[in-house]
């Protein structure tokens, strides 16, 4: 008897329907074909044990299982449940007509006791099931809320194999999991663990990060240990514009494929904040591996990627970010396939000014020998620094400032100004697909929207000469100046906007990091 059930495989952040064909015929033995990996091949042992627990005996006939399309590699343990249901139907332990089985996409990992364990990639699977017009999706109960954010699809969360058998035999029912996606999104939209009101002092640093959030600019913070760099970075998502529902679905899909969703989560409603350790490998950062998965830059999509102690990262790891920073996506090429992962994130980097950490400290003397400061900075390549718009020097607070400083401005208040500036940019770039903020402007848009008057041109020329600014700093300064003007609602860049923007390019100065003795 030939029976078909349907599962799904994830390819990148999308899903492909997999047909599980089970044929119980004359002969002996069991064959599993269709390019399965070891985890899929081992599914038969888990299935046999689960059958014993639910009181279903294996047939003595030959069983052939094919996973189609046969040229797509099947990976992971999520095919246990569709294979088991197909085998049970082929052995007449499930009496429903085969056409009823074909109305559902079924996925789940079986335990030896017949229980179901959560799987990865449920959201893209649910999206594909709805697209292919299946009636419903049956997944482990731990994944049900995640799948249920896809409307016009019946989602059933099950705890064990017996529940699925009874459902198809008509002797039991399954409760449909229903999630109000828009209500869920609205309820969790502004839930942040950190707030800028917790940061005492650092008015200049807060101002720079507000500008960065308003224009989507990348930032590097340089300062001694304890100056508050990490504290400031962790609060960056709280002042970024709220996610749209479309962005939330896109971000959730990436985290679902990577297996980063918690059981209680259904939809990620706040911008992600990823802070990998400096020992991370290049594959873990950008994605890939034998079985390609999203890396940290994709998990930070629509959010913030924080790289603390930037010079301590391996040079190779940092260099692989250069292309994703420009194109806002990363392409993983393998012999069998090429996968694109989105990677539109804001980079926030932090570093000490020197190996000992106290260069330019107002009270503690730097113990580094001459030339060490410049050598330390050179661990970060010029092309990478070129992609960072704002260079922010963070000075430590004195004891008196720390004890007497009043609570700072809240993230909510800062965010209102950021949202207003982003609204100006949204209107400005409405006719330019793929451009949403000032940091994304190309050369043509730059020439159109970053025009300087005579006074500003004179100021810029003087700054380039006196401060020894590099040529690569020119357009970065003007983009930041354009954002400062947007925060003030000014139609054009004036000398005050430009003067402030110039102060945020400290690492481009010829004499930065030079120790005079």
Give the Cα separation of 272 and 267 in Å (integer).
Answer: 12
Q: Report which of 238, 265, 239, 263 is spatially closest to residue 252, judged by C-alpha positions.
A: 265
Asked if 100 and 168 count as a contact pair (C-beta separation under 8 A), the reply is yes
Number of C-beta neighbours around residue 350 at 10 A: 23
The DSSP symbol for 62 reads E
Helical (H) or strand (E) element with 517: none
- pLDDT, mean of residues 338-356: 92
Structure tokens at 341: 């992962």
What mean pLDDT value characterizes the chain?
A: 90
DSSP alpha helices (H): ranges in 27-93? 38-41, 43-53, 80-90
pLDDT digits (tens, 9 = 90+) for 7-35: 999 988 999 999 999 998 888 888 999 99
pLDDT of 516 higher than 70: no
Confidence of residue 375 (pLDDT cuts 50, 70, 90): confident
Nearest 5 degrees, angle CA 413-CA 476-CA 284? Answer: 80
Percentage of the chain with pLDDT > 70?
98
Confidence of residue 510 (pLDDT cuts 50, 70, 90): low
Question: Which pLDDT does position 264 carry in this prediction?
Answer: 72
- pLDDT, mean of residues 217-232: 92
- pLDDT, mean of residues 471-478: 83
Give me the phi and psi of 282, to 5 degrees please: -65, -35
346-351/293-294 β-pairing: unpaired
Q: Can you name the residues that pair with 221 across neighbouring β-strands?
A: 350, 392
Q: Which of 243-247, 326-330, 332-336, 484-488 has the highest mean pLDDT?
A: 484-488
Structure tokens at 138: 């049956």
* 485: three-class secondary structure by DSSP: helix
Give the Cα separation of 123 and 142 in Å (integer).
Answer: 13
Give the Cα separation of 53 and 473 in Å (integer).
Answer: 68
Asked if 60 and 28 count as a contact pair (C-beta separation under 8 A), the reply is yes
Q: Report which of 263, 276, 289 is spatially closest to residue 341, judged by C-alpha positions.
A: 289
Task: Tell me the DSSP string of 311-342.
Answer: GGS-HHHHHTTHHHHHHSEEEEE-SS-EEEEE
- Output the pTM of the full model: 0.90
């Amino acid at each position: 008897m030939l029976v078909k059930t349907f599962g799904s495989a994830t390819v990148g952040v999308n899903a492909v329907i997999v047909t599980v064909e089970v044929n119980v015929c004359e002969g002996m033995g069991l064959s599993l074909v269709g390019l399965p990996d070891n985890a899929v091949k081992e599914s038969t042992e888990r299935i046999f044990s689960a059958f014993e627990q639910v009181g279903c005996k294996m047939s003595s006939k030959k069983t052939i299982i094919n996973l189609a399309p046969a040229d797509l590699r099947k990976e992971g343990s999520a095919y246990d449940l569709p294979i088991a249901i197909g085998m049970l139907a082929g052995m007449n332990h499930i009496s429903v007509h085969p056409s009823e089985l074909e109305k559902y996409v079924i996925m789940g990992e079986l335990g030896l006791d017949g229980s179901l364990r959560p799987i990865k990639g449920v959201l893209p699977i649910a999206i594909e099931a709805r697209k292919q017009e299946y009636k419903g999706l049956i997944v482990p109960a731990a994944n049900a809320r995640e799948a249920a954010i896809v409307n016009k699809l019946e989602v059933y969360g099950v705890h064990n194999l017996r529940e699925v058998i009874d459902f198809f035999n008509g002797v039991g029912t399954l409760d449909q999991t229903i999630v109000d996606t828009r209500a869920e999104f609205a309820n969790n939209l502004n839930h942040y663990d950190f707030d800028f009101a917790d940061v005492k002092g650092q008015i200049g640093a807060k101002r720079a990060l507000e500008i960065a959030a308003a224009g989507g600019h990348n930032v590097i913070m340089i300062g001694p240990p304890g100056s508050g760099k990490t504290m400031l970075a962790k609060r960056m998502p709280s002042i970024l514009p709220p996610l749209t529902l479309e962005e939330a679905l896109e971000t959730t899909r990436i985290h679902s494929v990577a297996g980063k969703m918690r059981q209680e989560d259904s939809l990620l409603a706040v911008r992600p904040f990823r802070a990998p350790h400096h020992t991370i490998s290049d594959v873990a950062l950008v994605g890939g591996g034998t079985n390609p998965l999203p890396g940290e830059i994709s998990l930070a999509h629509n959010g913030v990627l924080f790289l603390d102690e930037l010079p301590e990262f391996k040079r190779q790891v940092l260099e692989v970010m250069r292309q994703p920073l420009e194109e806002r996506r990363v392409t993983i090429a393998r012999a069998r396939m090429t996968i694109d992962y989105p990677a539109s994130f804001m980079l926030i980097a932090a570093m000490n000014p020197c190996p000992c950490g106290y260069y330019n400290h107002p009270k503690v003397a730097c113990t580094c020998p001459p030339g060490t400061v410049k050598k330390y900075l050179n661990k970060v390549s010029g092309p990478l620094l070129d992609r960072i718009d704002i260079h922010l020097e963070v000075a430590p607070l004195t004891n008196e400032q720390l004890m007497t400083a009043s609570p700072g401005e809240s993230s909510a208040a800062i965010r209102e100004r950021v949202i207003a500036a982003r609204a100006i940019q949204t209107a400005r770039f409405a006719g330019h697909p793929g451009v949403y903020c000032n940091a994304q402007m190309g050369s043509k848009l730059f020439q159109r929207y970053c025009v300087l008057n005579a006074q500003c041109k004179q100021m810029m020329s003087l700054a380039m000469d006196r401060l020894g600014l590099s040529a690569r700093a020119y357009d970065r300064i003007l983009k930041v100046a354009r954002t400062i003007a947007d925060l003030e609602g000014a139609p054009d860049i004036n000398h005050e906007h430009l003067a402030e923007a110039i102060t945020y390019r400290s690492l481009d100065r010829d004499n930065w990091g030079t120790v005079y003795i």
